Amino acid sequence: MSVTKRLEILDFIRELRQQLNLSQKQFAAKVGVSCKTVNRWENEHTVPSQIALKLIQEMLRKIDKPGKRLLNQYFPEAESGYES
């Protein structure tokens, strides 16, 4: 994974969590990871696994317009599967 892509994903995690108005703990519970894992993502220590990214994409599909915007921005290849 390129450095640029890695940083985009990490920025995306924080932006999504803030748009959903969730704490790291609440976001972690929705994704099925620990709070410490979300903290590591946001502080650029590690990146989400492919499984976590798929779960996050599903979360985006459920939050309508803000989700669609983020899905288009960070997962353009997945947007084709988005149903409005």
State the pTM of this model: 0.73
Q: What is the pLDDT of residue 61?
A: 81
Closest of 41, 40, 34, 77 to residue 57, by C-alpha: 77
- List pLDDT tens digits, range 6-30: 667 778 888 888 888 999 999 999 8
Residue holding tokens 């798929």? Answer: 54
Contact 68, 60 (CB under 8 A): yes
Residue 74 CA, distance from chain mean position: 9
Contact 67, 75 (CB under 8 A): no
Go through the domains of the chain in sequence order and give each one's CATH number. 3-75 (1.10.260)
